[in-house]
Every structure is written in structure tokens, then in C-alpha cells.
Amino acid sequence: MILPIVAYGDPILRKVGAEITKDYPGLEKLIDDMYETMVKAKGVGLAAPQINKSIKLFIIDSTRMYDEEEKNEGLKEVFINPVITKETGDDWPYEEGCLSIPSIREDVYRKDKVKIEYYDRAFKHHKREFTGLTARVIQHEYDHVIGKLFIDHLKPLKKNLLKGKLDKISKGIVDVDYKMKFPKV
């Protein structure tokens, strides 16, 4: 089932998500629905707050960022109760976008390497390290479950310039071809 994606301005995007247990009601279906929703919206990651659930869960599929012959560079994974324990390496810029903030893309600087602990969809615990584009998607989605957005990483001047556009997005004045829930409509 395709779920509506919550747009910028909704307070749920600013909440820190709650940890969940493997008994969380409808978890399997929720994960499946999130993948379906993400693919439909042509995203490479989706966090639960974006579909109106304030819990520590996000999914990624960074294989979608690679060409056919290098697909194994990417990762398709579910992250439950994630904790980033370390970010290292050089800051590097990458043009990020967000399904909750359509039509805005900006260069964001983040560290190259990330260490993360999480549970997968079978509630198996993992401690893993990622780099490059996969690390980037993880960092972006992890931000969502702690109430942060990629625009928070921009310089104040840049963020100021986006104010009008962001306000329009929250009112639904934006061209988007997937289902959304706008807070100011």
C-alpha cells in the first residue's frame, strides 16, 4: 500500500522517534508499505516520520543510485533503533534532496564514513561501517528519526533564501507526482 509522504512543516518531522520492539503492531506490513512508497516516489531512502510514524525506523536502497553493473556497491536494508556511533573521514559535498521537501536540492557536507548499530527487519543486531553514497543515505535517513532535516546542515544565509519555497511546500504549492500530506492545507 502506498502511504502519503508528510511534507515539510509538519511537526512530526521534528520529533525524535521512539524505539520499537519486534512486537510493534504491523511491522512487516509497515516495512513493505514503506518500500512500495519509496520506490513509487523514486526515492533511495525513507524514514518512518515521513509516513507519519514517530518511531526509530528507516529503510534505504542505495543500489538504486548505481548503474546496473555496479549495483553490488549499494545496499538495500532496514534500520530499526539505529545509533550512529562514529562519523569519520573527510567532509564531502553531495547534492541531497528529500521526499518531504520536493523541488529543493542542495549540496550538503557530511563525513565520508559512518559506524552504525541497528536491528534489521528480523530484529537481528548489527554493528557495521559504511562509506560513500550508502553512508550518505544512512546519514540523511538517520537525521529523520532524530528530528533533523538536510536543510539544517545548510549555512543560515542559504536556509534563509529557501524560506519562501519551504513555506509554499508546507502549503502544498509544489509540483509533485507522488501522494503527500501537507501540514498547511
**Could you give the CA distance from residue 24 to residue 178 in angstroms, rounded to a whole number?**
27
Binding flag, residue 166, Zn ion (CB under 5 A): no
Choose the stretch contacting Zn ion; rule: CB under 5 A; options: 19-27, 90-98, 121-129, 167-175.
Answer: 90-98
Strands, sheet with 45-47, edge to edge from the N-terminal-most edge strand: 45-47, 57-61, 76-96, 106-119, 125-131
Name the residues annotated as catalytic.
141
Compute the least distance from the CB of residue 35 to Zn ion, in Å: 15
Contact letters (x/-) for Zn ion, 119-148, by CB under 5 A?
A: ------------------------------
Q: How far is the CB of 70 from Zn ion (least distance, A)?
A: 24
Least distance to Zn ion, CB of residue 140, Å: 6
Return the number of the residue (4 or 123) whose C-beta is nearest Zn ion: 4
Strand partners, 80: 57, 119
Question: Contacting Zn ion (CB under 5 A), which of 13, 55, 80, 98?
Answer: 98
- Cα 42 → chain centroid: 13
Chain-centre distance of CA 9, in angstroms? Answer: 16
Of the listed pieces 97-105, 110-118, 128-136, 173-181, which binds Zn ion according to CB under 5 A?
97-105
Beta strands 180-181 and 5-6 are parallel
Closest separation in Å from C-beta 99 to Zn ion: 6
Query: Is-contact 116 128, C-beta < 8 A?
Result: yes
| Grid coordinates given for 170 | 508546507
Which segments of the chain does DSSP mark as H helices, in order? 27-40, 132-145, 156-161, 163-170
Q: Which is nearer to Zn ion, 70 or 107 (CB)?
A: 107
Closer CB to Zn ion, residue 54 or residue 123? Answer: 54
Which residues of this protein are in contact with Zn ion, per CB under 5 A? 98
